[in-house]
């Protein structure tokens, strides 16, 4: 099978892991930068060119679309899907998952546990927004942040108000969420491939830090999921329409609370922690769904 990996950097761990997994299983693997693709449409004829080369004769694509490339990256994925290629990431699901506000709305509406969340577009109702949330401290997130960037902990209303006002002046929309103290600076990352949990790990923030991202110095260990956590992770992925994703959650007194459903999860942390070949699982997903060309 001929498989395209859409990635801006072929040397990244996740990209290399997928390429190597595919080659081990006898497939032709190629990496192209989706931001350098040209999309051509004429009637019902759709084509993709990469650096002036027509891209055809492929069976599947594995998109690795970063936050900054969501808009054009989703257009490239859409073009390939409309051309009949199987994709491990649907373009509509990518757009849905990348919008943190709509993600929280959808999960909550389907009865999935999320931290109590308040979102406001009005800088004149900061006090009211803080009252809606209730107790302090609280977590303030940029709607477009990633890897823990733009995530702050406000200890009291005065600090929270100042942070929110500053972000509003910078034209940045923020999300306010309850601080789950009992999580003790840890969260759980669950990797799902084709409606199956392929790996899970606990990420613990370093001392003095409440964000557990490995990029910020946290550490990880293998964790055994409870039945409720496994159910919540699989349901969250299904609601988002994602076949391959990372689900981040907190352990709370109220049960598992979903923080985010990541449409393009990194593989380095989960593979090195669990020793599971998750990239290989993604390739097998392609094998089960892509039509081989003669």
pLDDT digits (tens, 9 = 90+) for 53-98: 999 999 999 999 999 899 999 999 999 999 999 999 999 999 999 9
pLDDT for residue 292 is more than 70: no
More confidently predicted of 149 and 220: 220
pLDDT for residue 256 is more than 90: yes
Which residue has 């931001």 as its token pair? 35
Q: Widest CA span of the chain, in angstroms?
A: 66
Sheet of 151-154, strands arranged across: 117-119, 174-178, 138-142, 151-154
| Spatial contact of 150 and 141, defined as CB atoms under 8 Å apart | yes
pLDDT score for 279: 98
Mean pLDDT over residues 259-273, rounded?
A: 95
pLDDT score for 207: 63
More confidently predicted of 291 and 113: 113
pLDDT for residue 294 is more than 50: no
pLDDT score for 44: 87
pLDDT for residue 248 is more than 60: yes
Residue 213 pLDDT class (50, 70, 90 cuts): low
Q: How many separate helices (H) and strands (E) can be counted in the chain?
A: 9, 16
Half-sphere exposure in the Cβ direction for 99 (13 Å, CA): 14
Which phi-psi region, left, alpha or beta, contains residue 255 (left: φ > 0; alpha: ψ -120 to 50)?
left
pLDDT for residue 144 is more than 80: no
> What share of the chain has pLDDT > 90, as a percent?
69
Mean pLDDT over residues 10-26, rounded?
A: 97
pLDDT for residue 208 is more than 60: no
Distance of CA 51 to the CA centre of its chain: 28
pLDDT score for 166: 86
More confidently predicted of 214 and 10: 10
pLDDT for residue 119 is more than 90: no
| Spatial contact of 140 and 164, defined as CB atoms under 8 Å apart | yes
Domain 117-179 fold is Dna Ligase; domain 1 (3.30.1490)
Beta bridge partners of 42: 45
Mean pLDDT over residues 183-200, rounded?
A: 95
**CATH architecture type of domain 96-113+182-263:** 2-Layer Sandwich (3.30)
Query: May I ask the CATH class of domain 2-89+282-289?
Result: alpha beta
Contacts of the segment 234-239: beta carbons below 8 A, 24+ positions apart? 234/192, 234/195, 234/197, 235/110, 235/112, 236/107, 236/112, 236/261, 237/192, 237/195, 237/261, 238/195, 239/106, 239/107, 239/110, 239/112
Which residue has 């290399």 as its token pair? 16
Shortest CA distance to 8 belongs to which of 86, 76, 92? Answer: 76
More confidently predicted of 185 and 285: 285
pLDDT score for 184: 87
d(C-alpha 27, C-alpha 21), whole Å? 9
Rounded to the nearest 10°, the torsion over CA 10, 13, 14, 18 is 70
Mean pLDDT over residues 257-280, rounded?
A: 96
* Range(s) of the chain covered by CATH 3.30.470.20: 96-113+182-263
| Spatial contact of 17 and 62, defined as CB atoms under 8 Å apart | no
Mean pLDDT of the chain: 91
Would you call 157 helix, strand, or coil by DSSP? helix
* Range(s) of the chain covered by CATH 3.40.50.20: 2-89+282-289
């Amino acid at each position: 099978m001929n498989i395209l990996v859409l990635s801006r950097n072929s040397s990244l761990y996740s990209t290399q892991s997928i390429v190597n997994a595919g080659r081990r299983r006898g497939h032709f693997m190629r990496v192209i930068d989706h931001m350098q693709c040209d999309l051509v449409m004429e009637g019902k004829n759709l084509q993709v060119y990469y650096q002036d080369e027509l891209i055809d004769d492929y069976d599947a694509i594995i998109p690795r679309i970063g936050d900054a490339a969501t808009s054009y990256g989703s257009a490239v994925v859409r073009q390939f899907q409309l051309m009949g290629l199987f994709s491990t990431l649907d373009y509509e699901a990518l757009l849905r998952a990348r919008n943190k506000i709509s993600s929280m709305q959808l999960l909550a509406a389907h009865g999935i546990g999320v931290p109590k969340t308040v979102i406001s577009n009005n800088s004149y109702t900061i006090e009211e927004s803080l009252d809606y949330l209730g107790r302090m401290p609280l977590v303030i997130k940029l709607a477009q942040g990633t890897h823990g960037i733009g995530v702050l902990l406000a200890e009291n209303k005065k600090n929270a108000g100042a942070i929110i006002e500053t972000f509003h002046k910078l034209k940045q929309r923020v999300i306010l969420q309850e601080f789950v103290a009992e999580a003790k600076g840890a969260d759980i990352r669950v990797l799902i491939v084709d409606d199956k949990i392929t790996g899970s790990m606990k990420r613990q923030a370093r001392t003095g830090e409440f964000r557990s991202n490995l990029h910020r110095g946290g550490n990880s260990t293998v964790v055994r999921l409870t039945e409720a956590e496994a159910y919540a992770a699989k349901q969250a992925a299904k609601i988002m329409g994602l076949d391959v994703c990372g689900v981040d959650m907190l352990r709370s007194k109220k049960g598992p609370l979903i923080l985010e459903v990541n449409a393009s999860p990194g593989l380095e942390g989960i593979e090195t922690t669990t020793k599971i070949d998750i990239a290989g699982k993604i390739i097998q997903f392609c094998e089960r769904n892509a039509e081989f060309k003669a």
